[in-house]
Amino acid sequence: MGLKVAVLGITHESNTFVKEHTTLCQFREGHWMKGETLLNEYRSAFHELGGMIEVLEEEGMEIVPVMYAEATPGGMVSKVTYETLLQELFTALDSALPVDGCLVVPHGAGVSELFRDMDGHWLSLVREKLGDRIPVIGTLDPHGNVSNQMVTSTNALVAYKTNPHIDQRETGRLAAKLLVNTLKKKIKPLQHLIQLPLAISIEQQFTGKAPCKNLYALADALSQQQGVLSISIMLGFPYADVEEMGSSVIVVTDDEEQLAISTGKMLEAYMMAHKQEFVGLKQDIQDLFPTIEKSEKPVLLLDMGDNVGGGAPANSAYLLKALEGYGRFRSFICLYDPAAVQLAISHTAGDIFDMVTGNPEDITMSYTGRVKLLYTGDGKFKETAPRHGGQVNFDMGKIALVVTSGGNTIMLTSLRVPPFSLKQLTAFNVIPEDFDVLVAKGVNAPIAAYTTVCKTLLQVNTPGVTCADMTRFNYNNRRKPIFPFEEI
Residues 6+ apart with CB under 8 A from 472: none
For Zn ion, which is the closer residue by CB, 144 or 264?
144
Quick one: which of 203, 172, 36, 16 has its CA closest to 106? Answer: 172
Strands of the sheet with 248-254, listed across from one edge? 189-195, 248-254, 228-234
Q: Assess whether the previous peptide bond of 164 is cis (omega < 30° from 0).
A: yes
Total site size for Zn ion, rule CB under 5 A: 2
For Zn ion, which is the closer residue by CB, 127 or 441?
441
Quick one: which of 377, 384, 428 has its CA closest to 398? Answer: 377
Residues 6+ apart with CB under 8 A from 223: 230, 231
Q: How far is the CB of 276 from Zn ion (least distance, A)?
A: 23
Quick one: which of 464, 440, 438 has its CA closest to 387? Answer: 440
Q: How far is the CB of 238 from Zn ion (least distance, A)?
A: 12
Dmax (CA) of the chain: 70
Q: Which of residues 126-155 bind Zn ion (CB under 5 A)?
A: 141, 143
For Zn ion, which is the closer residue by CB, 141 or 268?
141
Q: How far is the CB of 465 from Zn ion (least distance, A)?
A: 16
263-282: burial string, b at 16+ Cβ within 10 Å, e else:
bbebbbebbeeebeebbbee
CB atoms within 10 A of CB 57: 13
398 DSSP β-pair partners: 378
For Zn ion, which is the closer residue by CB, 197 or 389?
389
For Zn ion, which is the closer residue by CB, 143 or 441?
143
Q: How far is the CB of 433 from Zn ion (least distance, A)?
A: 28
For Zn ion, which is the closer residue by CB, 147 or 404?
147
Q: How far is the CB of 229 from Zn ion (least distance, A)?
A: 22
- Assess 388 for contact with Zn ion (CB under 5 A): no
For Zn ion, which is the closer residue by CB, 17 or 420?
420
Q: How far is the CB of 32 from Zn ion (least distance, A)?
A: 19
Q: Rounded to an integer, what distance in angstroms lies between the CA atom of residue 71 and that of residue 169?
A: 19
For Zn ion, which is the closer residue by CB, 245 or 401?
245
Helix/strand/coil for 203: helix
Contact flags string 53-72 toward Zn ion, x per CB under 5 A: --------------------
Q: How far is the CB of 466 from Zn ion (least distance, A)?
A: 12
Quick one: which of 187, 159, 197 has its CA closest to 175? Answer: 159
- Nearest residue to Zn ion, scored by beta-carbon proximity: 143
Q: How far is the CB of 235 from Zn ion (least distance, A)?
A: 8
The residue ranges that bind Zn ion (CB under 5 A) are: 141, 143
